[in-house]
Structure 1
Amino acid sequence: MLRLRSSLPPLRSRSFSRTQNEPNREDGKMALDNLIFAQCILYFLAFVFGFIAVVPLSENTEDFGGKCLLFTRGMWQNENITVSKQRFIVEEWGPESSCSFITFVGIASLILSAVQAWRLLFFLCKGHDDSIFNAFLNLLISSLVVFTVFLSSTIVSVGFNLWCDAITEGGTMPSSCEDLQDTDLELGLDNSAFYDQFAIAQFGLWAAWLTWLGIAVMAFLKVYHNYRQEDLLDTLIHEKDLLLGRSSRRNSDLKTGLI
């Protein structure tokens, strides 16, 4: 009978540990839902900024007839000796691959962010979550997008500055780069909005880069959260095995005491 009484307190401690773990699970689920909601908002912002960047880039490609304005070199020359009117002569148009690359990155960012936002919104409504492999894969993809968007943003900024230096002769012209979009450069194309188009495109790409950087940070936190949850699950399983082992030993001791 003494052995029977001594076995009762551990049984109460086991029920206490079970109730103690329940708030931790609820807090973990709430933190995970907040993380998914934050990711969903960032993906939506990445979609908006990608749209802001892609539209003016497409318009500029159409206005310039497929010619790439970025890294274009040229100079102002007099039309003839008697007339002082100057005309901008393009020495070499920029590589079309530069404009194609930034447009492709903008469209890819636009599509990927839309798919991920819809996917996470579905998970949030249904209460689902990514597996550890999918969370790690999202981290790799987000890191790759951060790098490519940063590269395309740098190409736009540097290439457009070189174009503005060319048409303003390094800032020696009385008109600024923004003012010259209202001047007919007589290039056989529509240059009436190039400055506004690339100013908006630069804003959209750099804002998209900052947003994707936040998405990558969130993806890392999610991988870390899943890793901690796996450690917690392994710990709970280990505690369960220990409790089951202790329970079996108590039952055997109880049977031995009764005999």
Structure 2
Amino acid sequence: MELDRRLLLIHCAAHALSVAAGLLVVVPMALNGSAFKGRCALFSAGYWRKEDRAEFTEQPGEMSHLVVQRWGPLEACQLATFVGIFTTLYGAAQGWRCLFYLHGRHDDTLFSSFLTVLLSVCVLFLSAGASVILSLGFSSWCDTVTDDNTRPYSCAESQSVPLYLDVDTSTFYTDLSLAQASLWFVTALWLVQSILAFLRLYHSHRQNITGPWLHRDKELLLGHTPLDSGSPTPPLPPATPSVCV
């Protein structure tokens, strides 16, 4: 198998993985947004307060519940969702193009390959930034829920503990942890795609440069010159016979 077809086949596999990884980012973030009624848990600020249990459960005694002072910015959650959606759509479109190129036995043009490299690098940095924001925001929310790790349960266990909020917190850790891991995997895939796109660009550029020289060397080895391959040499006029007296 030629080098360009091997690179194209690996690129197709990377695009297929991007579709699956992008969906694993979008679906958990959508479920978490629905459970939190459109609010973003990332970078939320709050504190724990003790109040009369009768206000919440109609039972005597005191209880502590979480009070959210400020919900996180929606942009923090929307950025991760946008990267997941773009990765899914782009991976599906490019995967179809890869299959078309494999069937037609040709590749992108030099300019198209350059645009692919540029786009892959830009989305790589965007995905890396979204991954860092999601990780930091998730860690901040866990600190709020566990009261800076002073509660007798971990962040994973806190989703089964009643927080007495007006949102559903029964699956927040599962949703956000899955989205976090998937988004970092998406970032790794964009890194792989950037490298593959650069290799395809380099291979295409090398073929465009060495192609005419290889054709010329082949003609020289066969004993032809560029002049021979051009217009044929006109025949010489017939010699006039000389008569000796």
TM over 0.5: yes
The one of 14, 19, 31 equivalent to 1:47 is: 19
| 2:209 corresponds to 1:231 | yes
SS at match of 2:117: helix
**Cα 1:255–1:236 shift into 2, 3 Å:** farther
State the match for 1:172 in structure 2.
150
Q: Does 1:33 align with 2:5?
A: yes
Amino-acid identity (%): 35
SS, match of residue 90 in structure 1: strand
Q: Distance in 2 between matches of 1:171 and 1:196?
A: 19
Q: Is the 8 A contact 2:25 2:80 kept in 1?
A: no
Counterpart of 1:244 in structure 2 is 225
Q: What is the CA–CA distance in structure 2 between the aligned matches of 1:245 and 1:158, rounded to whole Å?
A: 66
Tell me what 1:77 maps to.
49
How far, CA to CA, are the matches of 2:126 and 2:88 in structure 1? Answer: 13
- CA shift, 1:241, in A, is 8.0
The secondary structure found in structure 1 opposite 2:225 is helix
Does residue 181 of the first structure (1) align with residue 159 of the second (2)?
yes
Q: How many angstroms apart in 1 are the aligned matches of 2:226 and 2:184?
A: 58
Per the alignment, in what secondary structure is the counterpart of residue 74 of structure 1? strand
Q: Distance in 2 between matches of 1:161 and 1:245?
A: 70
1:203 and 1:161 mapped to 2: Cα distance? 13
In the alignment, what sits opposite 1:107?
85
Contact 2:28 2:176 in 1 (8 A): yes
Normalising by structure 1, report the TM-score.
0.81
Give the alignment of 1:1-259 within 5 angstroms: 30-80=2-52, 83-236=61-214, 238-239=216-217, 243-245=224-226, 247=228
Separation of aligned partners in 2, 1:50 and 1:68: 19
Q: 1:84 Cα deviation (Å)?
A: 3.2
Shift of 1:247: 3.8
Q: Which residue of 2 aligns with 1:10?
A: none
Q: Which runs of 4+ in 1 moved over 6 A?
A: none
Question: Aligned with 2:48: secondary structure?
Answer: strand
Q: CA deviation at 1:237?
A: 5.0
Unaligned residue ranges in structure 1 (runs of 5+): 1-26
Alpha-carbon distance between aligned partners in 2 of 1:194 and 1:106, rounded to the nearest angstrom = 18
Task: Name the amino acid aligned to 1:58.
Answer: A
Deviation at 1:45, TM superposition (A): 0.6
Q: In structure 2, how many angstroms separate the alpha carbons of the residues matched to 1:123 and 1:224?
A: 18
Code of the residue aligned with 1:158 in structure 2: it is: L
Cα shift at 1:129: 1.2
Moved more, 233-242 or 30-39: 233-242
Partner AA of 1:67 in structure 2: R
Spell out, residue by residue over 1:40-62, the C-alpha distance to the aligned partner (whole angstroms, 9 max, x if none): 00010111111111110000000
Q: Secondary structure at the match of 1:244?
A: coil
Q: Number of residue pairs matched?
A: 228
Secondary structure of the 1:122 match is helix
Q: How many angstroms apart in 2 are the aligned matches of 1:126 and 1:221?
A: 20
Tell me if the contact between 2:143 and 2:149 (Cα under 8 Å) persists in the aligned partners: yes
Q: Which runs of 5+ in 2 are unaligned?
A: 54-59, 241-245
Matched-pair contact (CA < 8 Å) for 2:135–2:180: yes
Alpha-carbon separation, structure 2, partners of 1:65 and 1:35: 44
Measure, in 2, the Cα distance between the counterparts of 1:255 and 1:77: 110
